[in-house]
Amino acid sequence: MKTPKKGKSLPPKLIISLGKFIWTTMWQIMMSQLAPRSKSGEYIRPNSQFRNFVKAGEDSPYPPAAGRYTLYVGLGCPWAHRTLVVRTLKGLEDAISVSVVSPSATTGGWVFNTPEEGCQTLAELYALAQPGYTGRSTVPVLWDKQTKTIVNNESADIIVMLNSEFNEFALNPSLNLYPEELKEKIDWWNEKIYTNVNNGVYRCGFAQTQEAYNKACDELFTTLDEIDATLANSRYLCGDSVTLADVRLFTTLFRFDIVYYGLFKCNRRRIQDYENLGAYLRDLYQLNGVASTCDLDSIKQDYYGNLFPLNPSGIIPSGPDMAYLLKTSDRTTSAK
């Protein structure tokens, strides 16, 4: 009686080729849902859809008021983080409530820890505000509890409103992060930083071709080098006082060494390795109340735990050690 022949295993080369083909195909499908792209593979961030404003006046549908508005935020999201920083700097904690949502890796969206406005997910809240809504359901959201609707979901707009429209309820009403005499300079920095840094790290991490990645990475570090040179002679981007330009940059810089350096392949240099940018980041982190808005664990969980196409294992790194943020900056220009 003949002994049955053992089945032959697939050659390693074929296994590798098949695995690479399957993973690449699945990766492209997942990335197309996570990050819309151009024909050249560049990440394209969709525009925010709700752009109304809180402002004083009899005809304003959204007048300033204490207790009327809620900010829906994700603690890992840099865009939502901006609104928390301005809310803290202005001293608006008692006037504007905050509700935290968490990303769900299974549903691919933001969910409430406990139901709010009868909604389990942020997508349901968007549908409540605009029945039939089919766009992206993103944070931050400035929600009007009186009319049960979304006032605005664009962080750049929300921080302008928080800076100027709630001063009668603010503990620090004299702090102006967007002064008239600096608006042109602030806007110039905002445009450059948004394109090449705030969104630039995402253009690196979500790039779907080598050429798209190379372009985004070059622009990111060229801009970081330019900012570092500027900060050699200036405490903040626009002089000796903090402005909205600094706030918008801060939330990206805080996440840079934690997630963008490794996960998003922005690894030419860490922020703490820059002589001026590293000290500048420490200056901002040590401003009164800002550290309390920074949640390191949520940031690592949200990026490493939920961006499956970039980190299929879901393993969350133990580092980095962020204790350096508590060191003095040793910068000579005065801070306000």
pLDDT exceeds cutoff 50 at 237: yes
Q: Where in the chain is the domain with CATH 1.20.1050.10?
A: 180-326
Identify the band that residue 324 occupies on the pLDDT scale cut at 50, 70 and 90. very high
**Does the annotation count 77 as an active-site position?**
yes
Identify the band that residue 334 occupies on the pLDDT scale cut at 50, 70 and 90. very low
**Does the annotation count 217 as an active-site position?**
no
Identify the band that residue 49 occupies on the pLDDT scale cut at 50, 70 and 90. confident
Active-site annotation holder among 62, 77, 213, 217: 77
SS3 of the chain: CCCCCCCCCCCHHHHHHHHHHHHHHHHHHHHHHHCCECCCCCECCCCCCCECCCCCCCCCCCCCCCCCEEEEECCCCHHHHHHHHHHHHHCCCCCCEEEEEEEECCCCEEEEEEEECCEEEHHHHHHHHCCCCCCCCCCCEEEECCCCEEEECCHHHHHHHHHHCCHHHCCCCCCCCCCHHHHHHHHHHHHHHHHHHHCHHHHHHCCCCHHHHHHHHHHHHHHHHHHHHHCCCCCECCECCCCHHHHHHHHHHHHHHHHHCCCCCCCCCCHHHCHHHHHHHHHHHCCCCCHHHCCHHHHHHHHHHHCCCCCCCCCCCCCCCCHHHHCCCCCCCCCC
By mean pLDDT, which of 221-230, 238-247, 311-320 is the weakest?
Answer: 311-320
pLDDT exceeds cutoff 50 at 335: no
In this predicted model, what pLDDT tens digit does every residue of 6-34 receive, in sequence order? 666 666 877 777 666 565 655 565 555 55
Q: Where in the chain is the domain with CATH 3.40.30.10?
A: 69-169
Per CATH, domain 69-169 is 2.60.40.10: no
Active-site annotation holder among 133, 178, 194, 202: 202
Percent of the chain with pLDDT over 70: 87
By mean pLDDT, which of 37-51, 90-104, 116-130, 218-232 is the weakest?
Answer: 37-51
In this predicted model, what pLDDT tens digit does every residue of 121-171 receive, in sequence order? 999 999 999 999 988 899 999 999 999 999 999 999 999 999 999 999 999
Give mean pLDDT, residues 175-193.
98
In this predicted model, what pLDDT tens digit does every residue of 239-254 receive, in sequence order? 999 999 999 999 999 9
- Average pLDDT over the chain, rounded to an integer: 90
The predicted pLDDT at position 328 comes to 87
The pTM (predicted TM-score) of the whole model is 0.90
Q: Which residue has the higher pLDDT, 106 or 54?
A: 54
Per CATH, domain 180-326 is 1.20.1050.10: yes
In one letter, which amino acid is 159?
I
